[in-house]
Chains A and B, each alone.
Chain A
Amino acid sequence: MLGYILRRLLATIPVLFVVSVLIFMLLHLGPSDPAAVIAGDFAQPEDVEKIRVQLGLDRPLYIQFGDWILGVLQGDLGSSIYSDMQVSALMMQRIEPTLSLTITTISFAILVGVPAGTFAAWRAGSLFDRGVMMTAVMGFSLPVFVLGYVLVYLFALKAQILPVQGYKPISGGLWPWLRSLILPTLSLGMIYVALIARMTRASVIEILGNDYIRTARSKGLSTPPILIFHALKNAAIPIVTTIGVGIAMLISGVVVTETVFALPGLGRLTVDAIVRKDYPVIQAMLLVFTVAYVLINLLVDLSYSLFDPRIKYQK
């Protein structure tokens, strides 16, 4: 098992290397000159030059890249041009809302998507099934901010039972925290629910056609254990894969959701950095989000062996 984990871990290195090169190139070969951007519209050429030397932008690209990567590997993500703060310090200030929102959204999406998909598969062709599939198509088509504002309109402005926006730290109590996250979670999670429900349904339907399901039924097992222990467990790998792949969508959605609901998280940090052209922060945040995505998918890969022990022994 350890060998399997190590092999998988090593396999992420080339991807992460390519990603870091791509991110670095995006920011350094782009059409705009960071030094000129920082200096502002009215700067003299010599000021721009001074900033360039100060930031080390006058050095050859491969040295800048090596410098950046060595720093990152030692935990130094660089510092903001705008506030002079370490990116890691900025992140620590902003990580709680993002982490909270991501955790509530993933939980919500799995808790709703998997049962809905399983039940739809069991009753394929029924009214419930059609309802789930229609809702899934709708879910795919509703941009996060559209659903967000519709929910705010209904639950915060009309019914006035939930806050319009803002984040309450978890240290201030579990209920206020959860209450501030209900609408963001619903708007961010809908597309994720749709994705998971659709994949669950498809893969459970496939499993339900197998002989061992018929055997389980003929030996008198009732439906719930068949669905949970026989069908869902064997259908799990594509579902878990979808959950992992969906994280990329979730990260993009987090940025928009944090803007709609004024949550001071990492997404806002990134958007603010982009607006201010604070390129060390942009570079670091792109890398952080991508590494998070790659690592989550590594965990997903490793979880396969829980559902299918044969995978452990494969080379």
Chain B
Amino acid sequence: MSDQTSPAAPRSVLAPLRAVPAFVAENIWLSIGIFLLGGLALLSFGAPLFTAFDPVALNVTQRLKPATEGQPFGTDLMGRDVFARVLYGGRISLTVGLTVAFVASLVGLIVGIAAGLIRWVDVVVMRVMDGLMAIPSVLLAIAFMALAGSSIRNIVIAITIPEVPRVARLVRGIVMSVREQPFVEAAVAAGTPDKALVLRHILPSTLTPLVVQATYICASAIISEAYLSFLGAGTPPEIPSWGNVVAEGRSMFLVNPGLVLYPSLFLAATVLAVNIVGDGLRDRLDPQMTKALR
């Protein structure tokens, strides 16, 4: 048996690779987004490969130096290497973006399913969700940060809170329409236990829109983190993040605009990449929504 399978093995390993060109041709924007995002992730998580400089090492003799071969973005007011700070800063944005997208989707999914199935949860929890949605999200997040103190964990909580109601509403709407579908009614009539009903019949319908929504939450969380750090209520100042780096470069903007512009461009490119991935996923997974938007 092993004799028969071994010649086929290399083919099966390469098979996914062969499918790449076809996938790219079919999903051109999704591929561009993934490629761009992958590149940015490599630059930030693999930062030591691209720069020998420490992003937090102070060097007062090298303050506000223009760009050189080894330091393409020059140095900031404290003599720190701006290129290194920009690369390492991406770690915060990507980590916060992905974590918030995951946590907000998970919590929103649970709340949305509960609200869609249990009447009293719907009445009570959705009122709270409506209230949360009415408070402007960045204000809510900075107020929370000011009181909770600055740490990455608190940032994730502060940005997740305003995102949860949006997911919960989406999921609740889907659950309510799926509940009326004949296949769910049939399952109920057949005596399917509640747990199996949720896991097998209701949960799967929510996943596709949820994945698309999670991508947009990721993009919006990256922007929110940058706003919080920019306003001085986000990532602790000793950790470089794009919002922090821009905020610190602000006072020197007229002297060296690069201190502000470089991190800004990386931030915009990352958000753009995530949004392109979101649009690509929506086109691929949710053709109806795409049709509605086109």
Contact B264 A149 (CB under 8 A): yes
B32-67 CB mask vs A (1 if < 8 Å, else 0) is 000000000000000000000000000000000000
B139 at the interface (CB under 8 A from A): yes
Q: Which residues of A have CB within 8 Å of B148?
A: 30-32
A61 at the interface (CB under 8 A from B): no
Q: Which residues of B have CB within 8 Å of A9?
A: none
B127-142 CB mask vs A (1 if < 8 Å, else 0) is 1101111111111101
Which residues from 112 to 128 on chain A have a C-beta closer than 8 Å to any C-beta of chain B?
124
Q: Which residues of B have CB within 8 Å of A198?
A: 293
Contact B139 A270 (CB under 8 A): yes
Cα(A205)–Cα(B292), bound, Å: 9
Which residues from 203 to 255 on chain B have a C-beta closer than 8 Å to any C-beta of chain A?
219, 223, 226-227, 230-233, 246, 253-254
Chain B interface, DSSP helix/strand/loop, else mixed: helix
Contact A256 B136 (CB under 8 A): no
Indicate which residue in B139, B147, B233, B254 contacts A157 across the interface (CB closer than 8 Å): B254
B260 at the interface (CB under 8 A from A): yes
Contact A248 B137 (CB under 8 A): yes
Indicate which residue in B146, B254, B268 contacts A146 across the interface (CB closer than 8 Å): B268
Nearest chain B residue, comparing its CB with the CB of A198: B293
A184-205 CB mask vs B (1 if < 8 Å, else 0) is 0000000000000010001001
- Counting chain A residues whose Cβ lies within 8 A of the other chain, the interface size class is 35 or more
Indicate which residue in B137, B147, B275 contacts A32 across the interface (CB closer than 8 Å): B147
Pick out which of these stretches binds chain B: A20-28, A76-84, A167-175, A299-307: A20-28
B113 at the interface (CB under 8 A from A): no
Cα(A294)–Cα(B130), bound, Å: 11
B20 at the interface (CB under 8 A from A): no
A55 at the interface (CB under 8 A from B): no
Contact B134 A15 (CB under 8 A): yes
B187 at the interface (CB under 8 A from A): no
Cα(A18)–Cα(B126), bound, Å: 11
Nearest chain B residue, comparing its CB with the CB of A275: B232
Pick out which of these stretches binds chain B: A43-51, A137-145, A218-226, A229-237: A137-145
Q: Which residues of A have CB within 8 Å of B292?
A: 202
Indicate which residue in A251, A259, A277, A290 contacts B146 across the interface (CB closer than 8 Å): A277
Contact B135 A286 (CB under 8 A): yes
Q: For residue A264, give the distance in angstroms from its CB to the closest CB of chain B.
A: 16
Nearest chain A residue, comparing its CB with the CB of B257: A153
Cα(A166)–Cα(B279), bound, Å: 38
Cα(A138)–Cα(B136), bound, Å: 22
A252 at the interface (CB under 8 A from B): yes
Q: For residue A79, give the distance in angstroms from its CB to the closest CB of chain B.
A: 18
23 A/B residue pairs, CB under 8 Å, sorted by A: A26-B147, A30-B147, A31-B148, A31-B149, A32-B147, A137-B279, A140-B275, A142-B271, A143-B268, A149-B253, A164-B254, A202-B293, A255-B139, A255-B231, A256-B230, A274-B145, A275-B146, A282-B143, A282-B146, A285-B139, A286-B143, A290-B135, A294-B134
Residue numbers of A with Cβ under 8 A of B are: 14-15, 18-19, 21-23, 26-27, 30-32, 124, 137-138, 140-146, 149-150, 152-153, 157, 164, 198, 202, 205, 248, 251-253, 255-256, 259, 270-271, 274-275, 277, 279, 282, 285-286, 289-290, 293-294
Residue numbers of B with Cβ under 8 A of A are: 127-128, 130-140, 142-149, 219, 223, 226-227, 230-233, 246, 253-254, 257, 260-261, 264-265, 267-268, 271-272, 275-276, 279, 292-294
Beyond the given A137-B272, A286-B139, please list 8 additional residue pairs across the A-B interface where CB-CB is below 8 A.
A15-B127, A18-B131, A26-B143, A137-B276, A141-B272, A251-B136, A256-B138, A270-B139
Listed from nearest, the 7 A-B pairs whose CB atoms lie closest are: A18-B131, A252-B138, A30-B147, A141-B272, A146-B264, A251-B136, A274-B146
